[in-house]
Structure 1
Amino acid sequence: MLTLEKGFTLVELMVTLVIGMILITVGVPSFTEMYQGYRAESEIRKVQQYLMFARSQAVSYGARVTVCPISGTSCGSDWKSGFSIFIDNGAAATIDSTNGVTDPIIKQVDAFNSKDFFTYAGSSVSFTPDGLIPTNSTVGTFSYCPGSTTSENSRGVEVSSSGKVRFSDSIINCTSY
């Protein structure tokens, strides 16, 4: 008596594996682009939230609050390595002591992904006690580009002289300033 075995033949398994490998080979690059887009969106939203936080702290404390990448005791230029938010009581854009009290750091933001680019035209952004940007402070766009300086997934946050922080609708390019 012959019994019918249920299962797959070796040829059927090989064809299935080949089709699966072709689909993976075609699909992985699109997942990379999608991942870069999500990462850029997530990071630029964090930047927007930190800037809005700094503005609200300036109003709450009734003092100038500065956002900048710290290099020693003054603001540097490498935004990609992270930045600090601090109450700026003394000289502008400098962590210094006034009457024996050092400018308190409110928040420290970690470095961004080493493969990405994060730029801003100025070395700092300050908010006055009324939430505005001082006339001597740089206004412009924070640019975040995942993977390359001209990525299609680039995102930006604009800071206006009125202190308003919003997402940028313009084409973002992360070439250094």
Structure 2
Amino acid sequence: MNKSHKHKGFTLVELMVTIAIVGILLALAAPNFSEMVARSKLKSALNEWQSSFYFAQAEAMRLKEKIHFCASSDGESCSNSGNYNQGWIVLYQSGKPDRVLRDVPPPDMSNNIDITFNGTTHTSTRAHIIFAPTGRIDGGFGGATVSFAYNDGKTTAIKLVVSNEGRLHIE
């Protein structure tokens, strides 16, 4: 009796070749994936900053008062730096105790994102934005750039331009 047995499955050689091919493909994809994650974190921080900017502008028009949009390390008061890495606030200073309308914590707790505000007035530099009751930026604001950079040395920074009228666009 001659019986033919068919074996189902993979040989060890076939399995090792498949694992090697998968390993090579993953090694090629990993750098692109990490850059994509970094870019996504930058865009998320940028969107959060833009959202707070437009919120402050809308609140100035709604309350018909000046509203401050500034970097803050404690979530309660404006810092005098243009470093938004530690977070930022939307602040209502009405003569009474200041009221924080929005407190945004740092967008990246691992400190890999660097957010730098470079603003000017007609006479000096300024580290924060004050919205007038009309929604325009107050105080002789001459425009600004906000740079969102990832500290990996590979990912391209995103620059956001703030016009003196209170409009944003990505450069």
Q: TM-score range by the shorter chain?
A: 0.7 to 0.9
* Structure 2 runs not aligned, ≥5 long: 119-125
Separation in 2, partners of 1:131, 1:48: 15
Q: Which has the larger radius of gyration?
A: 2
* CA shift for structure 1 position 131: 0.9
* 1:42, distance to aligned residue in structure 2 (A): 2.0
**1:162 correspondence with 2:165:** yes
1:86 correspondence with 2:87: no
TM-score (norm 2): 0.83
Classify the secondary structure of the residue corresponding to 1:162. coil
Shift of 1:62: 0.4
Q: Contact (CA 8 Å) 2:115, 2:146: kept in 1 or not?
A: yes
Q: 1:141·1:168 contact (CA, 8 Å) conserved in 2?
A: no
1:30-66 deviation line (CA, Å, top 9, x unaligned)? 1111122222122212211110110010000000000
Using structure 1 for the length normalisation, give the TM-score: 0.80
- Distance across 1 between alignment mates of 2:63 and 2:35: 42
Pairwise mapping of residues 70-85 of structure 1 onto structure 2 (< 5 A)? 70=72, 73-77=77-81, 78-85=83-90
Counterpart in the other structure of 1:106: 101
Structure 1 partner of 2:117: 120
Indicate the larger mover: 130-139 or 15-24. Answer: 130-139
> Is the 1:142–1:158 Cα contact (8 Å) retained in structure 2?
yes
Taking a change above 3 Å as real, the CA distance of residues 146 and 71 of structure 1, as seen in their structure-2 partners, is closer
Aligned residues: 157
* Secondary structure of residue in 1 paired with 2:102: strand
Partners of 1:139 and 1:161 within 8 A in 2:
yes
User: For 1:119 and 1:149, how far apart are their aligned partners in 2?
Assistant: 16
Q: Is the 8 A contact 1:48 1:157 kept in 2?
A: no
**8 Å Cα contact 2:70/2:127 also seen in 1:** yes
Output the aligned Cα RMSD: 1.9
Percent identity over the alignment is 25
Q: Greater strand percent: which structure?
A: 2
Asked if 2 retains the 8 angstrom alpha-carbon contact of 1:116 and 1:148, the reply is no
Aligned to 1:146: 150
Match of 1:30 in 2: 32
- Are 1:129 and 2:124 matched, yes or no? no
1:24 and 1:149, CA in 2 relative to 1: closer, same or farther beyond 3 A?
closer
What are the superposed Cα offsets for residues 85-112 of structure 1, whole Å, 9 maximum, x if unpaired? 01123xxxxxxxx3xx211100000112
What one-letter code is carried by the residue in structure 2 that aligns with 1:106?
A: L
Note if contact 1:124-1:138 (Cα within 8 Å) is conserved in structure 2. no
Distance (whole Å) between structure 1 residues aligned to residue 132 and residue 18 of structure 2:
64
